Amino acid sequence: MQGFEFYNPTRIVFGAGKIAELARLVPANARVLVLYGGGSIKQNGTLDEVRAALHGHDVREFGGIEPNPRFETLLQAVEIVKTEQIDFLLAVGGGSVIDGTKFVAAAARYAGNDPWDILTTFGSTIQDAVPLGSVLTLPATGSEMNNGAVISRAGDDKLFFGSERTFPAFSILDPTKTYTLPPRQIANGAVDAFVHVMEQYLTYPAGALVQDRFAEGLLQTLIEVGPQALATPTDYTVRANLMWSATLALNGLIGAGAPQDWATHMLGHELTAVYGLDHAQTLAIVLPAMLQVRRADKRAKLLQYAERVWGLHEGSDDARIDAAIAHTRDFFERMGNPTHLAAYQIGSDAVERIVGQLARHGMTQLGERQDVTLDVSRRVLEASL
Amino acid sequence: MQGFEFYNPTRIVFGAGKIAELARLVPANARVLVLYGGGSIKQNGTLDEVRAALHGHDVREFGGIEPNPRFETLLQAVEIVKTEQIDFLLAVGGGSVIDGTKFVAAAARYAGNDPWDILTTFGSTIQDAVPLGSVLTLPATGSEMNNGAVISRAGDDKLFFGSERTFPAFSILDPTKTYTLPPRQIANGAVDAFVHVMEQYLTYPAGALVQDRFAEGLLQTLIEVGPQALATPTDYTVRANLMWSATLALNGLIGAGAPQDWATHMLGHELTAVYGLDHAQTLAIVLPAMLQVRRADKRAKLLQYAERVWGLHEGSDDARIDAAIAHTRDFFERMGNPTHLAAYQIGSDAVERIVGQLARHGMTQLGERQDVTLDVSRRVLEASL
Please give the average pLDDT of every successive group of 10 residues along chain A, which has 385 residues: 98 98 96 94 93 96 94 97 97 97 98 93 96 96 96 82 97 96 95 98 98 98 98 97 98 98 96 92 98 98 98 97 98 97 97 96 95 98 97
Domains in chain B, ordered, with CATH? 11-177 (3.40.50.1970), 183-383 (1.20.1090.10)
Chain A / chain B CB contacts < 8 angstroms: 116
CA distance A219 to chain B (A): 10
The pLDDT tens digits for B49-98 are 999 999 999 999 999 999 889 999 999 999 999 999 999 999 999 999 99
Q: Return the residue of A nearest to B4 by Cα.
A: A14
| H or E element that contains A13 | strand A11-14
Could you tell me which residues are beta bridge partners of residue B90?
B34, B133
- Which of B204, B210, B216, B251 to mutate: most A Cβ within 10 Å? B210
Longest dimension (CA), chain B: 66
Q: Are B220 and B194 in contact (CB under 8 A)?
A: no
Distances (CA, A) of B232 to A49, B16, B173, B177, B228: 57, 17, 19, 14, 6
- DSSP three-state, residue B146: coil
Give pLDDT, residue A100: 98
CA distance A172 to chain B (A): 9
**Binary contact (A18, B1; C-beta < 8 A):** no
Q: How far is the C-alpha of A44 from the C-alpha of A181, rounded, in Å? A: 10
Distances (CA, A) of B138 to B66, B149, B185: 14, 16, 8
DSSP string over B231-300:
H-TT-HHHHHHHHHHHHHHTSSTTTTTS----HHHHHHHHHHHHH---HHHHHHHHHHHHHHHTTTTTHH
**Binary contact (B216, A213; C-beta < 8 A):** yes
Distances (CA, A) of A90 to A103, A134, B71: 13, 5, 44
- pLDDT of residue B182 exceeding 80, the answer is yes
Q: Are B169 and B22 in contact (CB under 8 A)?
A: no
The pLDDT tens digits for A198-241 are 999 999 999 999 999 999 999 999 999 999 999 999 999 999 99
Q: How far is the C-alpha of B144 from the C-alpha of B137, rounded, in Å? A: 10
Q: Are A338 and A282 in contact (CB under 8 A)?
A: no
DSSP string over B158-224:
EEEEE-GGGS-SEEEE-GGGGTTS-HHHHHHHHHHHHHHHHHHHSS---S-HHHHHHHHHHHHHHHH
DSSP string over B111-132:
-SS-TTHHHHTTTTT------E
Set of chain A residues whose Cβ sits within 8 Å of the Cβ of B3: 14-16, 18
- pLDDT of residue B156 exceeding 70, the answer is no
Closest alpha carbon to B14 in B139, B192, B160, B193: B139
**Binary contact (B14, A4; C-beta < 8 A):** yes
- pLDDT of residue B358 exceeding 70, the answer is yes
Nearest by CB to B214, from A8, A14, A214: name it.
A214
Set of chain B residues whose Cβ sits within 8 Å of the Cβ of A257: 14, 240, 244
Distances (CA, A) of B73 to B151, B152, B275: 11, 10, 21
Give A197's DSSP letter: H
> How many degrees, rounded to 5, is the angle at CA B376 between CA B188 and CA B278?
15
The pLDDT tens digits for B296-344 are 999 999 999 999 999 999 999 999 999 999 999 999 999 999 999 999 9
Q: Return the residue of A nearest to B6 by Cα.
A: A12
**Binary contact (A14, B257; C-beta < 8 A):** yes
| Residue type present at position B194 | F
Q: Are B197 and B39 in contact (CB under 8 A)?
A: no
